[in-house]
């Protein structure tokens, strides 16, 4: 078996042999490139960086975006020494980034000026902040509160926020220091573009500063490329364009995609008739979320986080004596399950369902109503006749009437109190249209990866982040496909499109 280091060396050579990265050693003009270890994103980076390098003729600078997420803001002496060794001698990914033409590596650092500005902002704002308004918190017109909120939950494994806690107070202070580092950096450097892989959590701070300054930001994955701007820095802005784009699809392509989408949805549950009898007494399902997983990824919800949402739903269904089930999320850990059980103590009639509970069982139980914030049950369960009630106005299904989208908590409460009056007569054609847009139109295998040719057992949820992804990609690489990608990326960068779309759909 080839070692990771050997594969990385091989891919670095592949970059040098097949791309023309030029060293424009000009500190007055830079392209910022997020430093990380995700192999599939590096393959995308090769093409994006080359195109931007040619367009802007700027110095290529890699930056640490994971500060306060997986690295301390202030390093110890030992950590500084370790970082120095990695950057200059032994770091395998530093070597890889040099194969992109990167000549400079930076990470956030503190100065007296940064500390002074962060202390001033802290004194002005901290006492005004609570869990209900933090997601709206801005500095100099740049929203950062949602990034702080989600990162705090993630790294400290907290299900909700206590703004009075010492832990949060110190984290908030550090987040301000990180913001003012990047604010200074963009003021003191001429940034032409950014190439990123993460846009959520505190990774988003330099991205949003760039967007305010109208600096183009490109996020590359093997399923698409995003061109991020201020108006679309939240994931999922395409949700508001589904109907418009669907209407413009070529009729033959639309018909073909419709049939494929219908087949996919039909296969969600093969053993249950699509015609379901209406029960006398309504049964409801609460589809739990992973408490730590970026509740603000699509923007503001009706609740500050998933924990507060769950407490509210449980309380209201209990008050209204609804027969209720709660399906755990596949990523709920033991701590989350314990907290869920604590919430359910107030209503021991709510029955827990395992995360792997199949749709067939959900339907056999006679469940008619489902509560979620913005989960995939919105289309999966609706397709089989269930009424799904979301708790976010920026959910993937927002343009369609096969879900209910309450505007506020008062309306949500009213729905729970009178749930039988809100049964939706679902048009399955609408769900198929949604599925066409969500899973086909906006998903584009622009690298032309043939999954069937990959090594048997290759894990598409795990191995894409590991060096073996380089090896699988290089086995498929060919000159013709390489030139096609280069041309397509160059054209995309010159447009104002939000996402790279398969040309056959345009």
452 and 374 in one domain?
no
105 and 217 in one domain?
yes
449 and 416 in one domain?
no
Residue 120 CB contacts under 8 Å (≥ 6 apart), including other chains = none
352 and 404 in one domain?
yes
Answer whether residue 144 is part of any domain. Answer: no
288 and 194 in one domain?
no
Residue identified by tokens 């073996």 is 468
What is the C-alpha separation between 86 and 88, in angstroms, rounded?
6
431 and 334 in one domain?
yes
What is the C-alpha separation between 177 and 380, in angstroms, rounded?
43
Backbone angles phi, psi at 268, to 5 degrees: -65, -35
Answer whether residue 371 is part of any domain. Answer: yes
35 and 11 in one domain?
yes
Answer whether residue 218 is part of any domain. Answer: yes
Q: How many domains does the chain have?
A: 2
202 and 103 in one domain?
yes
Answer whether residue 170 is part of any domain. Answer: no
| Whole-number Cα distances in Å, 487 to 54, 224, 243 | 12, 15, 29
pLDDT at 272: 61
457 and 414 in one domain?
no
Q: Got the DSSP string for 13-76?
A: HHHHHH--------TTSEEEEEE---HHHHHHHHHHHHHHHHHH--EEEEEE--BTTTB-SS--
Which residue among 440, 460, 489 closes a domain? Answer: 440
484 and 403 in one domain?
no
Strand intervals (E) in 184-310: 191-196, 217-221, 224-228, 283-287
Residue 438 CB contacts under 8 Å (≥ 6 apart), including other chains = 242, 379, 396
The answer to whether 114 touches 180, Cβ cutoff 8 Å, is yes
Q: Supply the range of the domain harboring residue 429.
A: 258-440
Q: How many residues does the chain have?
A: 506
Which residue among 440, 463, 488 closes a domain? Answer: 440
Please count the other Cβ atoms lying within 10 Å of the Cβ belonging to residue 418: 10
352 and 452 in one domain?
no
Which residue among 410, 440, 470 closes a domain? Answer: 440
pLDDT tens string, the chain, 506 residues long: the values are 678 999 999 999 999 999 999 988 777 899 999 999 999 999 999 999 999 999 999 999 999 999 999 999 999 999 999 999 999 878 999 999 999 999 999 999 999 999 999 999 999 999 999 999 999 999 999 999 999 999 999 999 999 999 999 999 999 999 999 999 999 999 999 999 999 999 999 999 999 999 999 999 999 999 999 999 988 888 888 999 999 999 999 999 999 999 999 999 999 876 665 555 555 679 999 999 999 999 999 999 999 999 999 999 999 999 998 999 999 999 999 999 999 999 998 777 899 999 999 999 999 999 999 999 999 999 999 999 999 999 999 999 999 999 999 999 999 999 999 999 999 999 999 999 999 999 999 999 999 999 999 988 899 889 999 999 999 999 999 999 999 999 999 999 999 899 999 999 98
Answer whether residue 26 is part of any domain. Answer: yes
Q: What six digits make up the tokens of 336?
A: 């989350």
Task: Give the global pTM.
Answer: 0.95
Answer whether residue 23 is part of any domain. Answer: yes
Residue identified by tokens 């919430």 is 343
263 and 411 in one domain?
yes
Answer whether residue 150 is part of any domain. Answer: no
Answer whether residue 146 is part of any domain. Answer: no
What is the C-alpha separation between 365 and 359, in angstroms, rounded?
10
| Whole-number Cα distances in Å, 111 to 74, 180, 302, 455 | 11, 10, 39, 49
> Which CATH number belongs to the domain containing residue 432 in this structure?
3.40.50.2000
């Amino acid at each position: 078996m080839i070692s990771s280091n050997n594969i990385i060396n091989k891919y670095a050579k592949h970059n040098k042999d097949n791309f023309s990265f030029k060293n424009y050693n000009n500190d007055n003009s830079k392209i910022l490139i997020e430093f990380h270890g995700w192999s599939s994103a590096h393959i995308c980076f090769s093409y994006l960086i080359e195109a931007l390098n040619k367009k802007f003729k700027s110095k290529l600078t890699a930056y640490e975006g994971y500060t306060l997420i997986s690295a301390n803001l202030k390093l110890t002496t030992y950590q500084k020494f370790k970082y120095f060794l990695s950057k200059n001698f032994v770091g395998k990914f530093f070597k890889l980034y040099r194969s992109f033409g990167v000549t400079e590596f930076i990470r956030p650092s503190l100065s007296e000026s940064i500390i002074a500005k962060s202390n001033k902002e802290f004194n002005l704002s901290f006492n005004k902040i609570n869990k209900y308004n933090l997601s709206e918190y801005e500095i100099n017109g740049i929203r950062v509160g949602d990034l702080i909120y989600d990162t705090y939950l993630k790294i400290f494994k907290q299900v909700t926020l206590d703004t009075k806690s010492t832990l949060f107070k110190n984290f908030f202070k550090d987040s301000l220091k990180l913001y003012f580092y990047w604010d200074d950096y963009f003021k003191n450097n001429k940034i032409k573009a950014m190439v990123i892989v993460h846009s959520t959590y505190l990774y988003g701070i330099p991205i949003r500063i760039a967007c305010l300054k109208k600096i183009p930001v490109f996020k590359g994955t093997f399923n698409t490329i995003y061109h991020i701007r201020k108006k679309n820095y939240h994931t999922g802005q395409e949700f508001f364009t589904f109907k418009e784009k669907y209407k413009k699809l070529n009729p033959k392509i639309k018909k073909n995609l419709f049939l494929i989408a219908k087949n996919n949805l039909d296969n969600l549950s093969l053993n249950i008739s699509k015609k379901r009898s209406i029960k006398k007494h309504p049964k409801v399902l609460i589809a739990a979320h992973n408490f730590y997983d970026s509740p603000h990824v699509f923007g503001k919800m009706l609740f500050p986080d998933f924990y507060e949402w769950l407490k509210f739903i449980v309380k209201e269904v209990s008050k209204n004596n609804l027969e209720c089930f709660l399906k755990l999320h596949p990523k709920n850990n033991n701590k989350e399950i314990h907290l869920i059980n604590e919430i359910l103590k107030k209503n021991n009639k709510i029955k827990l369902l395992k995360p792997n509970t199949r749709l067939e069982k959900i339907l056999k139980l006679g469940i008619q109503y489902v509560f979620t914030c913005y989960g995939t049950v919105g289309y999966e369960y609706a397709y089989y006749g269930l009424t799904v009630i979301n708790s976010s106005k920026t959910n993937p299904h927002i343009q369609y009437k096969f879900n209910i989208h309450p505007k506020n908590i008062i309306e949500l409460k009213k729905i729970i109190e009178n749930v039988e009056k809100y049964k939706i007569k679902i048009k399955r054609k609408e769900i198929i249209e949604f599925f066409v847009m969500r899973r086909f139109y906006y998903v584009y295998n622009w690298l032309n990866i043939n999954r069937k040719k990959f090594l048997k057992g290759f894990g598409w949820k795990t191995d894409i982040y590991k060096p073996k992804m380089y090896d699988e990609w290089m086995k498929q690489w060919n000159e013709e496909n390489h030139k096609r990608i280069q041309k397509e990326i160059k054209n995309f960068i010159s447009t104002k499109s939000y996402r790279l779309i398969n040309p056959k759909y345009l």
